[in-house]
Amino acid sequence: MTDRFFISTAISYPNGKPHLGHAYELMAADAIARFMRLDGHDVFFLTGTDEHGLKMIQTAEREGVAVQALADRNSEAFRAMGRALGATNDDFIRTTEPRHYAASQAIWRRMAANGDIYLSTYKGWYSVRDEAFFDEEELTQGEGGKRLAPTGAPVEWVEEESYFFRLSAYQQKLLDLYAAHPDFIGPETRRNEVISFVSRGLHDLSISRNTFTWGVPVPDDPRHVMYVWVDALTNYITACGFPDEAAARWPYWPAGLHLVGKDIVRFHAVIWPAILMSAGLPVPRRVFAHGFLFNRGEKMSKSLGNVLDPLAMAEHYGQDAFRYFFLREIPFGQDGSYSHEAIVARLNADLANDLGNLAQRSLSMVAKNCAGRVPAKGPFSAEDEALLAAAYALPGEARAAMGDFALHAILAATWKLVADTNRYFAAQAPWALRKTDPARMETVLWVTAEVLRVIGLLTQPFMPLAAGKLLDLLAVPAGARLFAHAAAVFAIAPGTVLPEPSALFPRYVEDREGEGA
């Protein structure tokens, strides 16, 4: 049975360089993608850039470059970030690609054929300065009865021809969808918000613009380009080969998960499924929203000067530590806070001291006392059995946590096992057994190595480099690194020659005052 799993990040708007928020979403998605692959699923992992729209035009003008050149340059910066983070996306979609034009126009035609698209006028109070429309109630009265935006900017009444999507017709169908699939939107709090939003009623959606041309032309009406909704969201099926339903990747649709920021859940949980229903296509299985990151509890902003470059951070702390920190520290789905001190604390305590040192202390004993081979195992004590049972239970716990995308919980459970193993090692004191009962010492070392093997397997999605190195140190063959191998039948074989042990994670030592990110 083929068990396909398509996971996507939102596509990023490349009118600037990638920031930590982009990195966080990509790291999380990558961890999920790797997890699912290791758990035996056929995964298609997509990320990319959303390159159309007015902001791109304006940024390009400001910088004095062609829009396409700006898109090319910044899109490449997002790809570079992916490489720096170890992202294993199978494709990188750009909305300026021909395949995306084809898909967007095809889905538009299907929506139109279904009677859900009509031409009308988009009207409202527009503030040129804010580049935004405002509701009547939001406006305030200025001098001489002039209407002002909440920002104090003057507004003018604008009417503009636009195509509309009959979103209002999908209210009940969406509510039915949410009711039939309680985990369609996660976490719970987002689901409540979306349901409450949709319950209040839906307006039709303006889905084209005729004031600029940087976009996908509307079929049969080249005066219009598609506005963000249809254009951006369609990327997910573009990458699956739409409209060619015989394409190699089409079987990956519908997506198993759209991972998005909490600010754009609605687009993915309301507009997107409505568009798909209109086009007669299956809707994604799940949409999950992650939270925002705060620097020492403060929002990142250019004016505060606390915007950090994710590439520099990954370089500074190391790719694994960088990934580990954000996925372990923040309950996935909630907002989180980070600081240099917090990252260093996690890096040293969890990675260097707990896991790194556990591997070092046990494997160096194996190297010195077992001729560098996996030790022999004798009869198991109750302690041995208990620890091994805890290890072999880990994949199941991890899988259960992944059901809610509780990445932090998977890592917490894994580090609980690391701590148990350190306790076990200290209690068994193999260094003392060396003189009194060498056979028992070997058994203790074998059990420790076997648990490390399981830990190595389960940490691969989160810190691929270090986990790979740990498995190398245990001489685990490349073909035996799936979660399915985290079981007794695949236990590490006594006598196997092991490489010379070496440190997994260096301790982070402050270079000087004020150093760090």
State the Cα torsion 177-183-185-189 to the nearest 10°.
120
- For 8, the 3-state DSSP assignment is strand
Helix or strand run (H / E) with residue 513 = none
Distance in Å, CB of 130 to RNA, minimum: 8
Residue 304 gets which letter from DSSP?
Answer: T
43 versus 498: smaller Cβ distance to RNA: 498
Residues β-bridged to residue 154: 148
Distance in Å, CB of 86 to RNA, minimum: 19
Residue 186: burial class (beta carbons within 10 Å; 0-12, 13-18, 19+): buried
Distance in Å, CB of 354 to RNA, minimum: 5
Contact residues for RNA, defined by CB under 7 A:
11-13, 50, 53, 55, 122, 131-133, 135, 167-168, 189, 192-193, 196-197, 200-206, 227-229, 232, 262-264, 266-267, 329, 331, 334, 336-337, 345, 348-349, 352-354, 356-357, 359-362, 364-365, 419, 422-423, 425-427, 429-432, 503-507
Distance in Å, CB of 37 to RNA, minimum: 26
146 versus 416: smaller Cβ distance to RNA: 416
Distance CA 102, CA 94 (A): 13
Contact by Cβ (8 Å): 157, 150: no
Distance in Å, CB of 239 to RNA, minimum: 16
Cα–Cα–Cα angle for 359, 365, 369, rounded to 5 degrees = 150
Distance in Å, CB of 378 to RNA, minimum: 19
SS (H, E, C) 182-229: CCCEECHHHHHHHHHHHHCCCCCEECEECCCCCCCEECCEEEEEECHH
245 versus 263: smaller Cβ distance to RNA: 263
Helix or strand run (H / E) with residue 465 = helix 464-473
7 versus 228: smaller Cβ distance to RNA: 228
Distance CA 121, CA 496 (A): 74
163 versus 252: smaller Cβ distance to RNA: 163
Q: Which two tokens stand for residue 312?
A: 């520099």
Distance in Å, CB of 75 to RNA, minimum: 12
Taking the CA atoms of the chain, what radius of gyration do you get in angstroms?
27
36 versus 289: smaller Cβ distance to RNA: 289
Taken in order 401, 402, 404, 408, the sign of the CA dihedral is: positive
223 versus 299: smaller Cβ distance to RNA: 299
Distance in Å, CB of 500 to RNA, minimum: 12
483 versus 501: smaller Cβ distance to RNA: 501
